[in-house]
Structure 1
Amino acid sequence: MIKIAVDLMGGDNAPDIVVEGIKQLLDKDPEVEILLFGDEKHAFQHDRVTFQHCTEVITMEDEPVRSIRRKKDASMVRMAEAVKYGEADACVSAGNTGALMSAGLFIVGRLPGVERPALALTLPTVDDKGFILLDMGANADAKPEHLAQYALMGSIYAKSIRKISNPTVGLLNIGTEDKKGNALTRETFKLLSDQDNINFKGNVESKALLMSAADVVVTDGFTGNMVLKTLEGTATSIFKMLKQELTKNMKNKLAAGVLNKDLQGIKGKMDYAEYGGAVLFGLNGIVIKAHGSSDARAFYNALRQAKESVKEGVVEAMRKEVSHD
């Protein structure tokens, strides 16, 4: 049985969507137990749920490191401690991203040999294959050695969870030529070219990301976070413009009625919540960040992702590979 610790109180729509997501997982997967941390007034009965009352909550406005250190009875802190002490195999929260990264780093701890953990997210592509982008913001600055480790950890995850036998790795850059970029990307290119434990295909441009430029794409956290928010904003803007155009007159409204199912399908393809949450790579346990505005389906996918990561031994594989990197 795989045990997942869950922060009931984290996220814009908590606790309702957290409870619903948990119930969906329990209904579909008999191999999972839930260790749930939060306010007892939201507790519910299930033979595979153990509830732990917490008196504090880390909010989206809290300063990450300070809140982890001072709010010892917060649901997020208690959840991370469950992984640290072996009471749970993985943990999931939709709460404050910075606080969860701090909890992962200072409570769960880094794997030996990992210089800096990275936040990784699987994003959609036109061909439905998807790709892993990291770092998404765990570290705004990075050294070439950090990006080389990101490439290795991303490859391990792609093999274990995405079942890609020999995943390609791309380095996000302003051009595909070998000498392109700044000092960071040029030096990283050299390091990745010399690594025989990854399938490095070279530089990739941001315009090619959704066209399956590579199975794993690495960059620094500042750039990765900018890319994610640009993709989110672009997708939202496009569908907003489509809605405005398709509702401005009766003819367009009739066309919208005919195309509605197809448009919803396209919108679903652009929703990265289908792949689960963001994973903190390089920690001594599975820590997954569900999107702050997750609905029940998105939170269910994050829980399912946590279970699969445990089942496939992702942390053990990273421990073995990175310690010999």
Structure 2
Amino acid sequence: MQPTKLTLALDMMGGDHGPHTTIPAALAAVCEFPELHLILCGDEAILTEQLKLHGVFPHPQLTLHPSTQVVTMADKPAVALRSKRNSSMRVALDLVEKGEVQACVSAGNTGALIAMAHYVLKMLNGIDRPALISTLPSLDSTPVYMLDLGATVNSDADTLFQFAVMGAVMAEEVIGISKPKVALLNMGEEEIKGSDQIKRASMLLSECNDINYIGYIEGNDIFSGKADVVVCDGFVGNVALKTCEGVAKLILRRFETSIKDRVTAQLFGWMIKPFIKSLYQGVNPDHYNGASLIGLRGIVVKSHGNATKDAFLSAIRQAVREVERQVPAKIKDRLEHVLIDKA
């Protein structure tokens, strides 16, 4: 049975910083969403101590759900799945499966989260493998969805086709784009280029009237706004994402250093400060934190392991949006119309 109010489970112990990040983010979230209730999964003593330090224990929008184990970043997925059934990550996923919460958010071990979510929540009919999807900034100010970002390293043509369908649903339902433009990430725009699975996926998408498929795009066009949804396998997507984040941080640091080194900039800093803040907000990876693990029978949002408070808060916001727009149900409906009928 689904809860009657907006309720999320948080893996409070996951990530590089654990409760030192997740507690402040949870408190910010319940302030931002008065209707939100959070189930905090983790070590009860540690969480209680942290909440008391913030002067908010007990809190009417927060409930502690004890767990005795933690999935570390070094844990292998199979080992975590088998031996850490009472971890904060597993407990949060179990709450989704039981219908006690509508989604869970974790900054923990990505491989373990994917394995546990796949095992606990199961896949939607018509979907073979899950995908990690997230938004990236673009030149026309409309975010771009990109998937897969690392859930499925090797993807055949059918899987890429399924990813495209799910990505289109996310763009339509979460961002509100009508008939989103879907493209396959490739080494060139020409039809003759790319691997066999890319070419076959392109053929499948071209034959699907329900997907607004525009063909191939190259890596330098990910942020151009040519496509609303960029589809690739998990290996390519993860490398591309990490490269983009690194370049964004490099540009910001170089820009800040350049500004500080110039006397004129120091004199007129009050004038250019709003510009710098706007630039930073536009490309700061923290504001795009929160990759959704889609294709499952429940909502799971993965935060960066080294997430700050603001970054983890962004992941919570993403989970709230997906709950409000009933994303798994919308994907299921589209699958019944496109994939199952196609089969």
The alignment's TM-score, normalised by the length of structure 1, stands at 0.95
Question: 2:40 matched to 1:36?
Answer: yes
1:23 is matched by which residue type in structure 2?
A: L
Question: 2:9 matched to 1:5?
Answer: yes
1:2 is matched by which residue type in structure 2?
A: L
Residues 78-101 of structure 1: CA distance to partner in whole angstroms, max 9, x if unpaired?
111111111111000111111111
Residue aligning to 1:145:
158
User: Of the candidates 77, 86, 103, which is equivalent to residue 116 of structure 2?
Assistant: 103
Question: 2:20 matched to 1:16?
Answer: yes
Residues 8 and 38 in structure 1, CA contact (< 8 A), matched pair in contact too = yes
Displacement of 1:179 after TM fit? 2.5
Map 1:120-139 onto structure 2 (within 5 A).
Answer: 120-139=133-152
Distance 2:264 2:34 in 1: 50
Residues 159-200 of structure 1: CA distance to partner in whole angstroms, max 9, x if unpaired?
111111211101111222222222122111111101111111
Displacement of 1:30 after TM fit? 2.7
Distance 1:19 1:253 in 2: 37
Displacement of 1:14 after TM fit? 2.0
Residue aligning to 1:266:
279
Map 1:141-290 onto structure 2 (within 5 A).
Answer: 141-248=154-261, 250-251=263-264, 253-254=266-267, 258-290=271-303
Residue aligning to 1:117:
130
Residues 3 and 34 in structure 1, CA contact (< 8 A), matched pair in contact too = yes
Residues 276 and 303 in structure 1, CA contact (< 8 A), matched pair in contact too = no
Distance 2:196 2:178 in 1: 32
User: Of the candidates 28, 38, 54, which is equivalent to residue 67 of structure 2?
Assistant: 54
Residues 37 and 76 in structure 1, CA contact (< 8 A), matched pair in contact too = yes
Residues 242-293 of structure 1: CA distance to partner in whole angstroms, max 9, x if unpaired?
3343344545644666533312321210124324400011001000001222
Residues 249 and 284 in structure 2, CA contact (< 8 A), matched pair in contact too = no
SS in 1 for 2:223: helix
Map 1:42-81 onto structure 2 (within 5 A).
Answer: 42-43=47-48, 44=51, 45-81=58-94
Using a 3 Å threshold, how does the CA distance of structure 1 residues 226 and 255 change in structure 2: closer, same or farther?
farther
SS in 2 for 1:181: coil
Using a 3 Å threshold, how does the CA distance of structure 1 residues 239 and 255 change in structure 2: closer, same or farther?
farther
Distance 1:7 1:101 in 2: 14
Map 1:80-91 onto structure 2 (within 5 A).
Answer: 80-91=93-104
SS in 2 for 1:170: strand
Distance 1:227 1:151 in 2: 18
Distance 1:113 1:225 in 2: 24
Residues 122 and 272 in structure 1, CA contact (< 8 A), matched pair in contact too = no
* CA RMSD after TM alignment: 1.7
Distance 2:286 2:256 in 1: 22
Q: Which runs of 5+ in 1 are unaligned?
A: none
Percent of pairs identical after alignment? 36
SS in 1 for 2:129: coil
Residues 6 and 36 in structure 1, CA contact (< 8 A), matched pair in contact too = yes
Distance 1:248 1:276 in 2: 31
Residues 94 and 290 in structure 1, CA contact (< 8 A), matched pair in contact too = yes
Of residues 244-253 and 79-88 in structure 1, the stretch that sits farther from structure 2 once superposed is 244-253
What is the number of residues matched between the two proteins? 325
Residue aligning to 2:330:
317
Residues 52-98 of structure 1: CA distance to partner in whole angstroms, max 9, x if unpaired?
11111111111122112201111001111111111111000111111
Q: Which runs of 5+ in 2 are unaligned?
A: 52-57
Residues 118 and 282 in structure 1, CA contact (< 8 A), matched pair in contact too = yes
SS in 2 for 1:160: helix
Distance 2:206 2:217 in 1: 14
